[in-house]
């Protein structure tokens, strides 16, 4: 959660805004980041990083640490603001961006005709999905070191069923160009302990 008085950094406004996904499932992030009346929402101003991560510690992690966080991070601990910061970096790995995108359950937002129908936390989480999709399709992710297999790493998705239900919107929101396997090295399971990361044999 974002709390007044916590150490934070400010991300530039205008990175975010956006709207859409699959129905009777729990909203992604519903138990994670909660936004209060005083917290800026995407499109309304600045977005703050939760105090568990400051900009210096995130930069020190680098692409390898971001990939470990994406693969092993606890989404109830790591807030949307941190994921947005990571996927906004020019050296964010392609595998990291895809892992975060699909773990954010982008299909969920197809249920909404517009962002106006979303709750505040849904809009904030959808901003992450939209940001990654726009940057991916624009070719912004050029760093490619790690392997990614969508079926194994984040789970299969039934695009045929989504097309039947939502038509062309399904492919627009979940582009085939983002449902790809990437060659590369495996995500390291060991390294500098990261907050919110649960590894074999204990917490990070």
Q: Is residue 40 part of a domain?
A: yes
136: pLDDT strictly greater than 80: yes
164: pLDDT strictly greater than 90: yes
pLDDT on residue 41: 36
Overall number of domains in the chain: 1
pLDDT on residue 36: 34
- The radius of gyration of the chain from alpha carbons, rounded to an integer in Å, stands at 16
Q: Is residue 4 part of a domain?
A: no
Q: Is residue 5 part of a domain?
A: no
Confidence band, pLDDT 50/70/90 cuts, at residue 49: low
Q: What is the mean pLDDT of residues 8-26?
A: 34
CA end-to-end span of the chain:
20
Q: Is residue 120 part of a domain?
A: yes
**Average confidence score pLDDT of the chain:** 76
Entry pTM? 0.73
For the chain, how many helices (H) and strands (E)? 7, 4
Which range has highest mean pLDDT (16-25, 44-53, 147-156)? 147-156
Q: Is residue 124 part of a domain?
A: yes
| Between 102 and 74, residue with greater pLDDT | 102
13: pLDDT strictly greater than 90: no
Q: Is residue 204 part of a domain?
A: no
86, 78 contact by CB (below 8 A): no
Q: What is the mean pLDDT of residues 115-144?
A: 94
CA distance 11 to 100: 18
pLDDT on residue 99: 97
Q: Is residue 177 part of a domain?
A: yes
pLDDT on residue 199: 57
pLDDT on residue 138: 97
- Parent domain of 96: 10-197
Q: Where are the alpha helices (DSSP H) in the chain?
A: 55-72, 80-87, 94-103, 120-137, 150-153, 159-166, 168-173
């Amino acid at each position: 959660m974002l709390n007044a008085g916590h150490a934070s950094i400010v991300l530039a406004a205008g990175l975010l805004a956006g709207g859409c996904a699959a129905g009777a499932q729990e909203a992604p992030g519903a138990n994670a980041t909660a936004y209060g009346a005083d917290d800026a929402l995407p499109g309304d101003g600045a977005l703050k990083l939760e105090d568990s991560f400051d900009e210096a510690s995130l930069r020190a992690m680098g692409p390898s640490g971001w990939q470990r966080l994406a693969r092993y991070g606890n989404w109830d601990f790591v807030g949307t603001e941190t994921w947005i910061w990571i996927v906004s970096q020019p050296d964010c790995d392609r595998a990291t961006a895809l892992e975060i995108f699909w773990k954010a359950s982008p299909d969920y937002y197809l249920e909404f005709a517009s962002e106006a129908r979303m709750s505040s936390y849904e809009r904030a989480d959808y901003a992450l999905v939209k940001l990654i999709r726009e940057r991916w399709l624009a070719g912004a992710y050029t760093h490619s070191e790690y392997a990614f297999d969508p079926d194994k790493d984040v789970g299969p998705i039934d695009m045929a069923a989504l097309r039947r239900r939502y038509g062309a919107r399904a492919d627009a929101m979940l582009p085939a160009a983002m449902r790809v396997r990437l060659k590369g090295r495996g995500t390291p399971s060991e390294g500098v302990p990261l907050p919110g990361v649960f590894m074999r044999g204990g917490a990070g």
